[in-house]
Structure 1
Amino acid sequence: MPNDFYGLPLHPLIVHATVVMIPLAALTVLLSALWPLFRAWAGPLPVGISLIGLVLVPLSTSTGETLEKHVAPSALLEKHTQLADGLLPWMIGLFAVSVIGYAIHWRSQHGHSMQKAVTVVVAVLAVVAVVGTTVQVARIGHSGAKAAWDDTDMSSVTRP
């Protein structure tokens, strides 16, 4: 895999897609788990968006590891890397809950009854996965911004 795209490092480009898709996946999974009307309208959309987010996580970490070889090591960068390594399990959980939720919805639409307790458990697991994934993405993004910008000398920047 090339390390850049027309001279730009791939990591920031892929990370921006990741930062958009994962919260979008979390939102659609949450709405689908808690709001039957949205669930009926969205169908497999939360599953598809979650799958895209799931694919983007290893791409983000892989390009990050490549970029890490070209920048000065720091404690902030190390923290960012450690936090990023913790996202994949959350994203797997979010994807799994979206698949299970859609399967329950699909079965109920095709005449198979589902116990209310199963739906409630899946909704609770969806909330846990959504919160965990969203918090982890925010922590990773914040630590990445700090790693990229904390050492930058902003004293020469003119303020309006």
Structure 2
Amino acid sequence: MPEFIDGLPVHPLVVHFVVVLLVIAVLGSVLTAVWPAVRRRYGWLAVAAAAVGTVLVPVATTSGDNLSSRLPENDLITEHERLGDLMLWWALGLTVAVGALMVVHTMAARKAAVAVGAGQEDTEPAAKAPALVMIVLALVTVGVAVGAGIHVYRVGDAGARAVWEGVENLPVQSGG
């Protein structure tokens, strides 16, 4: 993987993709969990945003490691790296949670469509099981989404502090 693209480090470029995708995934996952109309229309888009964001997290952390190897030792960068390494687990958890929610939703919708098409009414106690499973998965999805959103913020804040703390004391550069 290249370390620079047109003179810019790859890390901030990839990180912004990750942040945008994971924030969209967090918001989409919460809406998917609590709003059935959103779940029916856009639930799989939340899964896709979470999955692509999850795939890009290792690219971001690898490019960050490459960038930090060029910089002097710094406690702020070390903290940013530590938090960034944890981001994969939050993103993966979000993908699994919203994915499981959508799989159960899709299976229940197909079962209901087959039952209606066959003229059957499901009066068994087992018919309530998908509702209970959906409630549990919705709660888990909201919890993981909130945690992932908070962690995205924490990683970004640590990165911004690593870049910008102490900048006000630097001399102004001319020519660009």
TM-score normalized with structure 1 length: 0.92
Amino acid at match of 2:45: L
Q: Tell me the distance in 2 between the aligned counterparts of 1:43 and 1:60.
A: 26
Structure 1 runs of 4+ with >6 Å offset: none
Provide the secondary structure at the position in 1 that maps to 2:72: coil
Q: Unaligned 5+ residue runs, structure 2? A: 113-126
Task: Indicate the residue corresponding to 2:152 in structure 1.
Answer: 137
Give 2:161's aligned amino acid: K
Q: Structure 1, unaligned stretches of length 5 or more?
A: none
Looking at structure 1, the residues matched to 72 and 95 of structure 2 have their Cα atoms a distance apart, in angstroms, of: 35
* One-letter amino acid of the structure 2 residue matched with residue 78 of structure 1: T
Between the aligned partners of 1:108 and 1:100, the Cα distance in structure 2 is: 12
Q: Which stretch has the larger CA shift, 10-19 or 108-117? A: 108-117
How much has 1:151 moved relative to structure 2? 2.7
| Partner deviation per Cα, 1:40-82 (whole Å, 9 max, x = no partner) | 1114111111111101111110100000011121111111111
Q: How does 1:41-52 map to 2 (within 5 A)?
A: 41-52=41-52
User: What is the distance in 2 between the residues matched to 1:154 and 1:40?
Assistant: 53
Normalised TM-score (structure 2): 0.84
1:123 aligns with 2:138: yes
| Match status 1:146 vs 2:161 | yes
1:75-125, CA deviations, whole angstroms, 9 ceiling, x for partnerless residues?
A: 111111111111111111100012111111111221255532111110111
**How many pairs does the alignment contain?**
157
Equivalent position amino acid for 1:46 in 2: A
Deviation at 1:38, TM superposition (A): 0.5
1:3-14 correspondence runs (5 A): 3-14=3-14
AA in 2 matched with 1:3: E
